Amino acid sequence: MIRVELPAHLRTLSGAGAEVAVEVQRNAEGRVTPRAILDALEARYPVLRGTIRDHVTHERRAFLRFYACAEDWSLESPDAPLPEEVASGKEPFLIIGAIAGG
Amino acid sequence: MSGVRLLVGTKKGAFVMTSDGKREKWEISGPHFGGWEIYHVKGSPVDPNRVYASQSSGWFGQVIQRSSDGGKTWEPVGNKFVYDGTPGTHQWYDGTPHPWEFKRVWHLEPSLSDPDTVYAGVEDAAIFRTTDGGQNWEELSGLRGHGSGPRWMPGAGGMCLHTILLDQNVPGRMFIAISAAGAFRTDDGGKSWKPINQGLNSKFLPDPTAEIGHCVHRIAMHKSRPGVLYMQKHWDVMRSDNSGDSWQEVSGNLPTDFGFVIDVHAHEPETIYVVPIKSDSEHYPLDGKLSVYRSRTGGNEWEQLTKGLPQRDCYVNVLRDAMAVDSLDKCGVYFGTTGGQVYCSADAGDSWSAVVQNLPSVLSVEVQTLP
């Protein structure tokens, strides 16, 4: 299971806790990607569709960022393989609301 | 005894306020969707317990909420607003082409006959419709397809479709308004649209009387006189007696004719209300005195209403969707301010009292008259 941490507003909207566990499909190379995590998250919580990435283009919303293992994954390809610590559930995949607006 | 329910959208959540017909004591619930911007909350005229809310955030985008118990509990429904076809471009503030991008729903207008059908006015300007209670939304693309879209431009609040009026007397007729494109009318349920801006004069346009480009802030209509429309434009209060085909100015003796809201008395179709704001660069009341102005003659002759409203040091604004009237006798008039106050008059404007004083900045006020 992959651990995903959500920002407070999306926890409230989805009814999920601060951290949710989702079953994620590994790709052909046996790796887990941000796209696969978001696909699994939205399948489990359909209300989150459109709140993290665009409904159609699947582009990350501008004021959200993705972190994993103390690295910023926001600008990486959604198909880039995440560290094994995330794939194994040892470390969470973090969805963070950017600090903006003061 | 009959009562009223106020549906208030603010910068940081929605609030539901109820009172009996005296409209003196209020019960307030909320914030619902705390921390989110609630641009509009409105109930179905045929099923008052069916209420829709537009919940949005710069971070997380658009959510639509639906209630089946008058706003006590809510469930999120569909939030997929995708323009039909290739959206193209509109004018940016400097006149350069800018891609059409969905940002949020400004206004929700439930159908007059079906609680599952709702129209949504969005930014960047377009109108959408659901016929399944909000699960799925489809653009009525004939509006953007009118051909003038590349000449539309955003007002200070964005390029928003903020007003939707449904005409209960003429099937298929609707009026909408866009800042800053102007007003449009459809007579075929939204398939085709006609700009209805003849008579408007906007000095910020190269051609002040152009067919397109006017910053219409609000339109109001009385259900017994659907051919008569009232408009608060960026500057100027206007009136049309032919369903928008032409307009004439009725600002009359108003101390300033800039403002955002305009509404019509529930039982007197020639009695209208505005809240004059100092200017387009100073969005607050003249001299720090909050006043509603009422005309009992359909415009031109206005009286200042101040009893119960702050008459010193008041520098709030009243935004375009933040005034409503109930249908009790006497007619109740309500408005909310950017300072977080919601005011009620239970005597058609003669006197006012605060329902609540310290909400987040109020974006919208609607009222339901309950049996």
Distance between CA atoms of B364 and B11, rounded to whole angstroms? 10
Q: Which residues lie below 8 Å from residue B228, measured CB to CB, with a gap of 6+?
A: B221, B222, B239, B240, B241, B269, B298
Distance between CA atoms of B197 and A58, rounded to whole angstroms? 39
Note whether ipTM > 0.85 here. Answer: yes
Residue B180, preceding bond cis, omega within 30 degrees?
Answer: yes
- CB contact B63 to A (< 8 Å): yes
Residues 69-108 in B contacting A (C-alpha not used; CB under 8 Å): 76, 79-80, 82
Q: For A5-19, B128-142, B352-366, which range has the lowest pLDDT when averaged over its residues?
A: A5-19
DSSP state of B45: S
CB-closest option in B36, B59, B76 to A61: B59
Query: What separation in angstroms does the CA of B169 have from each of B121, B128, B166, B243, B353?
Result: 22, 22, 9, 12, 35
> CA angle, corner A26, sides to A23 and A32, nearest 5?
90
- Please compute, for residue B131, the number of CA atoms within 13 A of its CA located in the half-sphere on the CB side: 3
pLDDT of residue A101: 55
The answer to whether residues A66 and A74 touch, using CB atoms and an 8 Å cutoff, is yes
Taking the whole predicted model, whether its pTM rises above 0.90 is answered as yes
Contact at CB, B60 and A47, closer than 8 angstroms: no
Return the residue in A47, A65, A74 with the most chain B beta carbons within 10 A, the one to mutate for interface testing.
Answer: A47
Q: What is the dihedral of CA B99, B101, B105, B111, to 10 degrees?
A: 70
- The neighbour count for residue B83, using CB atoms within 10 Å, is 18
Give me the phi and psi of B156, to 5 degrees please.
-60, -30
The percent of residues in chain B predicted with pLDDT above 70, rounded, is 100
Instruction: Provide the token pair at B361.
Output: 């900045």
Which residues from chain A sit within 8 angstroms of residue B80, using beta carbons?
A: 49-50, 55
Distance between CA atoms of B113 and B110, rounded to whole angstroms? 9
Return the residue in B32, B54, B59 with the most chain A beta carbons within 10 A, the one to mutate for interface testing.
Answer: B59
Contact at CB, B57 and A52, closer than 8 angstroms: no
Burial B202-222 (b: 16+ CB within 10 A, else e): beebeeeebbbbbbbbbbbbb
pLDDT per residue as tens digits for the range B217-253: 999 999 999 899 999 999 999 999 999 999 999 999 9
Average pLDDT value for residue range B9-20: 98
A interface with B, Cβ–Cβ < 8 A, is 7-10, 12-13, 47, 49-52, 55-56, 61, 63-64, 97-98, 100-101
